[in-house]
Amino acid sequence: MDTAYTIADLRKRLAGEKSIALVPTMGNLHAGHISLVEMARRRAGCVVATVFVNRLQFAPGGDFDRYPRTLAQDRWMLEKAQCDVVFAPDEDEMYPQPQQIHVTPPEIAKPLEGDFRPGHFQGVCTVVAKLFNIVKPTVAVFGKKDYQQLAVIRAMERQLDFGIEIVGGETIREPDGLAMSSRNAYLSPDERQQGLTLSRALAAAQASVAAGERNAAKLLDAARATIATARDAKIDYLELRDPDSLHLVETLTGPTLFAMAVFVGKTRLIDNRVLRF
């Protein structure tokens, strides 16, 4: 496995590659990231994983400075997963000048995370567009745990005609149901147990839908009651939305996205599930 720290070195390494799969990450990798690398491995001759903590997608006062940087461990995991190239630039390499040109995200970025994290998706779109231009992949793989992000990237790819296949990887969970996330490392043992209320609320909603419930308000009330059992939980949002348009849903008529963001202590967790019947 090769590691490139500069754009010039990465382009030199990738010259001549006929098919490239890109897996963008911010590092501090876990099994969820590795599952994306494994998907990429099946889709292209060369797999490139990026490890870059992107300041542009963090709010002022957010956790940019304390976000875990674990490059040595990340490289070990990626090599074991048969990744071909790791691109690990520093901030000066990615943004040698103040970034004055930004990619405006599409309408689908406005609800959910867009309501609570102003500027987040602009930062995501800008860095991903730069990575697309640097790597020139034939396919790029993103996780469905960040469901809205995947939808935003797909819309950006369509409107800017990158010619890249965007693939979504399923959320990988711990045995007890907690969605894997780099930010889980912030949770104390007690907070981690409280965090299980998110996946429990989603599972209960799916069971209710399978039993015939179609009223969004009733499903949301039940989920709030479940999360309220966690004493340190504070809900940012619990919403039922169309899985394609992300428009609000009041009555379920088909597959429906149940998306949530909840603070447990000082750690913000997101999770989602497409409810089916």
Q: DSSP 3-state assignment of 199?
A: helix
Q: DSSP 3-state assignment of 269?
A: strand
Residues 201, 228 contacting (CB under 8 angstroms): no
The active-site residue, picked from 33, 102, 120, 247, is: 33
Q: DSSP 3-state assignment of 245?
A: coil
Q: How far is CA 63 from CA 25, 224, 231, in A?
A: 16, 26, 23
Classify each residue of 136-170 as buried b or exposed e, where b means 16 or more C-beta atoms within 10 Å of its C-beta.
bbbbbbbbbbbbbbbbbbbbbbeeeebebebbbbe
Pairing outcome for strands 256-264 and 267-275: antiparallel
Q: Which helix (H) or strand (E) holds 41?
A: helix 31-41
Question: What is the rounded distance in angstroms from the CA atom of residue 72 to the CA atom of residue 223?
Answer: 39
Q: What is the CA radius of gyration of the chain?
A: 19
Active site (annotated) includes residue 247: no
Which of 214, 218, 198 is closest to 256 using CA atoms?
Answer: 214
Return the beta strands (E) in the chain as ranges: 2-4, 20-25, 46-51, 85-87, 139-143, 165-169, 233-241, 256-264, 267-275
Give catalytic residues, as residue numbers.
33
